[in-house]
Amino acid sequence: MLTIGELAAYADVTVRAVRHYHQIGLLPEPERDTSGYRRYGPAAVVALIRIRTLANAGVPLSEIAEMLDADDATFAEAIRRIDDRLRHRIERLATSRTQIAQLAAGDSLALPPEVTAYLDRLRALGTSDRLVAGERDAWILLAARWPDHIREWMPEKFAQLEDPRVVRLYQVLSEISESDATDDARLAEAADIMADLVGEAWAAGEMSPGGNAYNDLPHDLLDALAIESDPRVQRLQELMRERGWSGWNRLEPLATPPG
């Protein structure tokens, strides 16, 4: 006959686990012998090994007692139900792992691959991390509200990066973002480039897309995001007004378009 310690060692569990199984009624607790010790026979060893095996397989302790006394058919059905639960749990964990991987990937969280490719292109051009982060957050707002339009917009965004003026604009804005100056002289250069680009686009009719979803974008929200990312955007807005343009995300002529 075995002591509780010997029983636990035989079944490869802890004494604490054995006592817990006693408390919840899963393993019968034997009477003490004349010396005051509880002694366990082979039936207790078998029962404890079965409990350990089921518990290690993921069976909740609350269901093990019923399974220990079940006939073969009932036992098989119980195993099937448990397997279904484990499979669903594995699927949820797989989804969680995917989400964690997206978090580790950074840009791919909440963004379609076309946008992450665009952000990678900005990095390849030497765009600062701060500026890329601002672009990323803006695209997150757009992708959440207009996911179906992202693929429509991205070819044009990539095409714009073929224009040396756009590349220079990102370079200047990156230099500004990495400085501490509140009124950086390079803001004027950025405003000049932007005014040139937007004036050209307006003349070509590209700034008024009519019924396009562009008209429904939350321009005020995007403008606020830009200012939160870098308050110097407000100074850029002032410089753009001096050049005849209002707004930020959606620039419009104050009166007759310049040039």
How far apart, in Å, do the first and last CA atoms of the chain sit?
102
pLDDT at 215: 54
Do the Cβ atoms of 118 and 158 come closer than 8 Å? yes
Do the Cβ atoms of 155 and 206 come closer than 8 Å? no
Out of 86, 102, 118, a domain closes at 102
Backbone phi and psi for residue 32, each to the nearest 5 degrees, phi listed first: -75, 150
51, 161: one domain? no
Out of 102, 121, 145, a domain closes at 102
154, 81: one domain? no
Bridge partners (DSSP) of residue 253 are 245
121, 93: one domain? no
In a domain, 86, yes or no: yes
148, 83: one domain? no
All residues at 6 or more sequence positions from 120 whose CB lies less than 8 Å from its CB, including other chains: 107
In a domain, 258, yes or no: no
134, 247: one domain? yes
Give me the domain span that covers residue 59: 4-102
Q: What CA–CA distance (Å, rounded) separates 195 from 217?
A: 21
Number of domains in the chain: 2
CA torsion sign for 225, 117, 173, 203 is negative
In a domain, 188, yes or no: yes
164, 68: one domain? no
Do the Cβ atoms of 112 and 143 come closer than 8 Å? yes
Q: What CA–CA distance (Å, rounded) separates 63 from 68?
A: 9
39, 51: one domain? yes
pLDDT at 256: 57
In a domain, 61, yes or no: yes
Residue ranges of alpha helices (H) inside the chain are: 4-11, 15-23, 42-56, 61-68, 72-105, 113-124, 129-145, 150-160, 164-177, 186-203, 219-229, 233-242
Which pair of tokens denotes residue 42? 């082979």
SS3 state at 246: strand
pLDDT at 160: 93
Where the chain has pLDDT below 70, the residues are 98-109, 183, 207-218, 255-259
pLDDT at 211: 41
Out of 43, 75, 102, a domain closes at 102
In a domain, 172, yes or no: yes
- In Å, what is the CA distance from 247 to each residue of 167, 173, 176, 250? 22, 17, 20, 6
